[in-house]
Amino acid sequence: MGMLRKYAVIDPLTGKLDRRIFSDQEVYDEEMERIFGRAWLMIGHESLVPQLDDFFHTYMGEDPVILTRDGQGRLHALLNMCRHRGNRVVRCDDGNAKRFLCTYHGWTYRNDGTLEHVPGEREAYYDALDKSSLGLIEARVETYAGIVFATWDKNAPSLEAYLGDARWYLDTVFNRRDGGSQALGPIKWLEPVNWKTLVDNCSDNYHVPTSHLSSARVQTRFIGRPPLSHEDQFASPNKHAFVNGHSITFRDADDNTPRYVHGASKETMRMFQDYHEATMPEIERRLGALRARRVQLANHSIFPNGILGLRLALPRGPLKTEFWHFVLVDRDAPEELKRVIRIGSQANNGAAGLFEQDDVDNWRQVTEASASRLRRRHPQDLSMGLGHAGTHPDYPGIVSERYISENNQRLFYRRWEEFMNAGSWSDIPLTSISARFEGSATMRG
Amino acid sequence: MRSVRPNEPSLDARQALWFQLMQFYIREAWLLDERRFKEWLDIFTDDIIYFMPRRKNVLRRELHREVTPLGDLAIFEEDRRYLEMRVARLDTGMAWAEEPPSRTRHLIGNLEATPLESGDVSARTAFLVYRSHLETDSQLLSGSREDVLRPLDGGWKVARRTIVLDANVLLDKNLSVFL
């Protein structure tokens, strides 16, 4: 019995993509159940709840969730919905609390989700209320190098299996130091864009020298950032890799270039270089020489909605996305380096970021083009690099020959189809881990 | 004759300062709305910090945590060079967020000015900024500006600007205009 394939939106032979998936309410509603109701979702970072009884308010897709650290230090992801009528029990962005009070009728929950107190339990409910079955709805929580993920699906595989060999690449940014990382933020804003375009754009290195040329040029002129051009990007030894829905682009270079994204300038390059060299023995011990020295993670996304590091594309209907921008810094990095990265990050990304602000009108018009029945007749063309990707002796996943390719995007929409067509997790294929994870770094850090 | 306490400027001096600063802010508003951004940069000192913290939902008893401090991730944390870079970008012809440019209207009011011992002045204002972009996009930004103004070259320069928006999640596609 073949599985019913309701969704066939990307043609693997031509790269034509059905625009309907960016605007259709029915498709969106099914995404919420079949993707956001099943997948491991990035929701925050351990450093946002450092103390016992800390909480941080976040979202799993469009649903409000309280990330808590209970009195024993355990993490919980609790649906922010009173089990009585559905009012939220937390209205703050973060804080420290042992209990959450529903402001409607006073039901009170402990920060592990247990329903502790109901006014009138004896008098009004005649002691017939089964409080033990009415705790806050709790999602499964697992962490990867301090990043907190949660899923609603009891049958989801482990987070380690879900990330699979994508972690081989992700470790090179998120799992570098013994001391782990620290999250700052988020900056939050609404974009009139379907959530998938933000995610798909993470592998779109093609847009960078057009969309962001003005920002790159002035940064070269004013602060000495290395120049950017189409020619460099086409000639670059960098690649795409795709594993289990996660899109990676990376630099494949046997050189001693420091890892920087934000804050690089002619004054700060020395500091980045010194940090790179000072930490290299530790990083080689943690990741092995190949990953420590040669693999430099570039733009990437974690299926479904984790984009470029710890940043979230939170769906708010088919035509809207709430964007959350955090910055992750190595906890044990010098304070001056953290400052430079923080300032560089707000200059590039975030609602006012030079790079980020130029994306939005492009993306929103892509969304808008999908909302019209007439424009929808003409599919998107994602044909770039068709037939130029496969396995690679050194690098896990499906690897493209070039840094500029639409291979990851095609595979992202295929992964989307796999989730949307599946009856349950057992129908969703998962590539088993086969990469060699050299070094001491693990899921736990 | 009414008595004036020592060390406290007379009412006239305060009025003069208020009038001077109000003119300063009105001129700044016109520079921004007429897109004269290079001239606008002249209102800042060389060591300007142009800072827009984030604003969080916290309980009333924790209001000291509402506005994120310098050192946390901010929406803007810019020095003069970064501001100059933002302005220079607009002339590249490829700053797509502002190409075609936004139509803005800056309304500045509620000025309170307090002379500081250093000779600088602390000036608080409230703003409403309307932005219209492309065909039907529009946004209304409201908030406060807290400036430290320094007497320089026979006029005033802004040495520190802290902009606090009255928003938690920004409802706008991006923040590509100056406040």
Q: How many CA atoms lie within 13 A of A299 on its CB side?
A: 18
Please report the pLDDT score of residue A2 as a whole number. Answer: 45
Asked if A362 is an interface residue toward chain B (Cβ–Cβ < 8 A), one would say yes
Residue of chain B with shortest Cα separation from A326: B73
Tally Cβ neighbours within 10 Å of residue B106. Answer: 21
Confidence (pLDDT) at A1 = 40
Q: Where are the beta strands (DSSP E) in A370-411?
A: 380-381, 389-390, 398-400
A37-54 pLDDT, tens digit each:
999 999 999 999 999 999
How far apart, in whole angstroms, are the C-alpha atoms of residue A32 and residue A149?
A: 17
For A41, the enclosing helix (H) or strand (E) is strand A41-45
Give the per-residue pLDDT at A3: 54
Overall size of chain A counted in residues: 445
pLDDT at A29 over 60: yes
- Closest partner residue to A93 (CB to CB) among B58, B72, B176 is B58
Instruction: Flag if B173 and A191 touch (Cβ within 8 Å).
Output: yes
Cα dihedral sign, A413-A419-A422-A427: positive
A359-379 confidence digits (pLDDT tens): 999 999 999 999 999 999 999
- What percentage of chain B has pLDDT greater than the value 90? 91
| Chain A CB within 8 Å of residue B94 CB | yes
> A266 CB near a chain B CB, below 8 Å?
no
B47 Cα to chain A: minimum distance (Å): 15
**Angstrom distance (rounded) from CA A166 to CA A356:** 25
A25 backbone dihedrals φ, ψ, rounded to 5°:
-60, -40
How far is the alpha carbon of A96 from chain B, nearest alpha carbon, in Å?
A: 11
Chains A & B: contacts with CB separation below 8 Å: 122
Name the percent of chain B lying above pLDDT 70.
94
Q: ipTM score here?
A: 0.95
Q: Span B95-107, mean pLDDT?
A: 97
| Parallel, antiparallel or unpaired: strands A306-307 and A295-302 | antiparallel
Sheet holding A115-117, edge to edge: A99-101, A108-110, A115-117
Residue B75 contacts A, CB cutoff 8 Å: yes
- DSSP code at position B168: S
Average pLDDT for chain A: 95
Q: Tell me, what's the pLDDT at B172?
A: 86
Tell me if B96 and A211 make a contact (CB, 8 A cut-off): yes
Question: Which neighbouring-strand residues pair with A147?
Answer: A45, A144
Most B CBs within 10 A among A57, A59, A93, A324, hence the mutation to make, goes to A93
**A176-233 pLDDT, tens digit each:** 999 999 999 999 999 999 999 999 999 999 999 999 999 999 999 998 887 888 888 8
Cβ proximity of A172 and A439 under 8 Å: no
- CB pairs under 8 A, 24+ apart, for B81-84? B81/A222, B81/A223, B82/A222, B82/A343, B82/A347, B82/B50, B83/B41, B83/B44, B83/B48, B83/B50, B84/A222, B84/B41
> Is the predicted pLDDT of residue B3 greater than 70, yes or no?
no
pLDDT digits (tens, 9 = 90+) for A312-360: 999 999 999 999 999 999 999 999 999 999 999 888 999 999 999 999 9
Inter-chain residue contact B73 with A185, CB threshold 8 Å: yes
User: What pLDDT shows up at residue A232?
Assistant: 80
For the cut 60, the answer to whether the pLDDT of residue B130 exceeds it is yes
Give residue B6's pLDDT band: very low, low, confident or very high (50, 70, 90).
Answer: low
Q: Are A87 and A124 in contact (CB under 8 A)?
A: no
Say which of B76, B169, B174 has its CB closest to residue A346: B76
CA atoms of B51 and B145, how far apart (whole Å): 10
- The Cα diameter of chain B in Å comes to 63
pTM assigned to the model: 0.96
CB A357 to CB B94 under 8 A?
A: no
The tokens for B133 are: 């972009």
Helix (H, G, I), strand (E, B) or coil at A10: strand
Q: Residue A217 and residue B57: Cβ atoms within 8 Å?
A: no
| Subunit contact B94:A326, Cβ cutoff 8 A | no
Among A156, A72, A177, A172, which residue's Cα sits nearest to residue A114?
A72
B72 touches chain A (CB under 8 A): yes
3-state secondary structure of B74: coil
- Interface with chain A: mutation pick from B169, B171, B179, highest number of A CBs within 10 Å: B169
**b/e burial code for range A223-240 (CB count within 10 A of at least 16 → b):** bebeebeeeebeebebbb
Report yes or no: A175 and A445 within 8 Å, Cβ to Cβ.
Answer: yes
> Is B103 within 8 Å of B155 (Cβ atoms)?
no
With CB atoms and an 8 Å threshold, state whether A187 touches B84.
no
pLDDT at residue number A74: 98
